[in-house]
Amino acid sequence: MVMKKREQVFALLLHLQCLLFPVDALLFMQQERLRSLHLCAWNEELPESVVSSLADRGVTQMLPVQQSAWKVVKERLDAVISSPTATGKTLAYVVPLIARLVDEEALKKEALKEETKKRSIPMPRVVVLAPSRELVQQIGREFSFVAKAFGEEGCLATAVACGGMPMERSVAGLRARGGADVVVATPGRLAELLRAKQLSFRKLETLVLDEADALLDEDDVPEVRRFLDGMENDYQLLLFSATITDKVRSFARGLMELDHSAGQVDILASRRAKLNHFALAASETEWSVLCADLLLTRLENTSTAIVFVRTIAMAQELSDYLTRALRHSRVLALHSDLAPAARKRAVYHLSNTEQYSTILVATDIAARGLDLPGVDLVLQLGLPRQRGRDGTLDTDLYAHRSGRAGREANSTSTSIVLFDPTNAENKLLPHLLEFLNSTYQYSMQLILPPSSFDLAQAASALATNLCARVSAETLDTFSTSDQLNSQYLPTSAIVVLAGLDCLPTGTIASSRLTSRSLLTARTVDRTLCLRPNRQQSYESIILSASAVTRAFKLLGSGKVPSVKLVHGAAYLDFPAHRAHAIRENAIRNPDLLPPKFELLLLPEEDPDHVFPWIEYSTSPSDSSGDESPRKSPPRKKLLKTKSRRGTHST
């Protein structure tokens, strides 16, 4: 009856708002219906103690993926469920599984416990596989939390088994309290336990593959198939992932009973946070120093950032560099070569930031599944590649990486990817943009490296914040020093010195407070742009590389580097001293420039100018993949250039 009255109220609201704001009314109605359904689902299906415990963690409503998974999980149906990162996939199977185990007859459970004791081999009812140790431990904590909320913590036993811990410890965890009901493990350790006959699947009811796209990769597929081939009884198979790859689809078609539609949930309704996507062109040699500059200018005082790199060596080298460069931030490393205790400490410190900003430099073991709240910034050094192969783009991995940010409701976070145009990574940008737009309805914006003004402003803000933390007693002690007396050292100089101390180490010595190249972000280069003047349309004149080369030769450029043509303008990188000399020559001799063209030194003469890499990547000369090349703009005018043999059209 109550629900019927609410529906009538919603109908009245919809009618009234549609008269004034049709689109907004529909969106409002859809969101309110969703909230109502979610709240009712929690209250009707779960005990009050569980609803209260979830509310204490900020989970006040059943999210779309949890609502989609509830019925199929409780009714033991096979399902492949896809939902974006940070949308509650872990609780989507943990809560209904615990609810189902609690609802089943206690006699059946006690009989199973007795049989397990007699056989001395643990026989779990639920097994969850995950690709990394950190994710396994996180899922294990979720099972323990939900079991405690149900009041069954002492009855339902959860065991965690993963590499990096002694085998004896895994076995002891499985045998505790009469045998584990739920086992969360990595494929390798689970295989070891089965081979050692320390575990049996005889009573298994449900097998969950969390981050299924990673588990069904080439390395883990044999282990997973071996587990399934050894199953004699019927069981429920659940696949959860933020991305569904072709391997997952093939696996599901071959081994799962999918006679219903659980499928993908509404991505737009699932997103609770806003994530802004940016791309920045930079040569790989500049990634380390540029990473330090971005972290200084983008992070707040107590913010958290994750920097993704491609290899273990890069992770260790970059973390060491950032530790030296950003002295007032805590820098952590996370990769598979670290000891288990070190990996555990890194995840703990990242989740427990205090007075300082925290930076985690990690390989892709941190890209999947880990719930790291409070991450405000994700930096990706290089476009993610498929199994490390050059010239490929892994859009699913990009989604997993960027999904580490923006995991809190109603928050706004940032994802920045650095790409190297000298390795032709710019040609992959259109594919990434198409993926973001079609899948998440996100856009990506090209940005410039932090300017000297940005670095100075960020360093000054950090210095002010650090000075504010100094106690009054410490200030009194330093104020009595003759060297700090205003007679010898003005207060303004002290402020400047504090700000300089907050700059990344080596900034002054490396001249990083100067401008960078627009194309590669190198500090030793500058970008010159030859473009039509304001009276001319960018599409009215078509330049050729040979014409640009001849024009720069006349300006005394010497050897001319590669020319990038886009939107009727030409972009070239020269060493800083040569770029300034060419620009000064053009100012003194404007007749040397092609008619109706102007030469700019970037970014000095146009600080907000960004090279349009996306448009450049899809130009006919640089088209890649299956995309159809764009048509060239209409050729309204031809630029005439003179040579020794006469006049040629270019």
| 218 lies in the same domain as 292 | no
Give the pLDDT score at 536: 61
Give the pLDDT score at 35: 39
Which of 343-347, 350-354, 386-390, 636-640 is the least confident region?
A: 636-640
Ranges of H-type helices in 104-176: 106-119, 133-149, 167-175
Which of 98-107, 390-399, 617-626 is the least confident region?
A: 617-626
Residue 143 has pLDDT above 60, yes or no: yes
Residue 490 has pLDDT above 70, yes or no: no
Give the pLDDT score at 13: 42
Give the pLDDT score at 252: 78
Rounded percentage of the chain residues whose pLDDT exceeds 90: 24
Q: Strand, helix or coil at 106?
A: helix
Give the pLDDT score at 493: 56
Residue 16 has pLDDT above 70, yes or no: no
The answer to whether residue 135 sits within a structural domain is yes
What band does 333 get if pLDDT is binned at 50, 70 and 90? very high
Taking the alpha carbons at both ends of the chain, their separation in whole angstroms is 78
Residue 315 has pLDDT above 50, yes or no: yes
**pLDDT tens, residue by residue, 212-227:** 888 887 566 677 777 7
The answer to whether residue 492 sits within a structural domain is no
What is the domain-level CATH number for residue 637? 3.30.70.260
Residue 38 has pLDDT above 60, yes or no: no
The answer to whether residue 629 sits within a structural domain is yes
| 23 lies in the same domain as 75 | no
Pick the last residue of a domain from 391, 423, 449: 449
What band does 497 get if pLDDT is binned at 50, 70 and 90? low
Give the pLDDT score at 582: 95
The answer to whether residue 508 sits within a structural domain is no
Secondary structure (DSSP) of 72-88: HHHTT--EEEE--TTS-
Which whole number is the average pLDDT over 270-298? 86
Residue 175 domain boundaries: 56-268
| 278 lies in the same domain as 249 | no
Between CA 517 and CA 453, with CA 314 as vertex, the angle to 5 degrees is 35
Give the pLDDT score at 478: 62
Which of 54-63, 140-149, 410-419 is the least confident region?
A: 54-63
| 225 lies in the same domain as 89 | yes
| 240 lies in the same domain as 316 | no
19 versus 566: the higher-pLDDT residue is 566
What band does 273 get if pLDDT is binned at 50, 70 and 90? low
What is the domain-level CATH number for residue 244? 3.40.50.300
Give the pLDDT score at 648: 38
Total tally of structural domains belonging to the chain: 4
On average, the pLDDT of the chain sits at 77
| Rg, the chain, Cα only | 30
Residue 17 has pLDDT above 60, yes or no: no
Nearest CA-CA partner of 94 in 243, 244, 208, 211: 208
Q: Strand, helix or coil at 638?
A: strand
Give the pLDDT score at 614: 75
83 in Cβ contact with 239 (< 8 Å): no
| 281 lies in the same domain as 255 | no
Which residues make Cβ contacts (< 8 Å) with residue 622, sequence separation at least 6?
Answer: 427, 616
Pick the last residue of a domain from 268, 300, 324: 268
- Whole-angstrom Cα distance, residue 194 to residue 170? 12
| 173 lies in the same domain as 295 | no
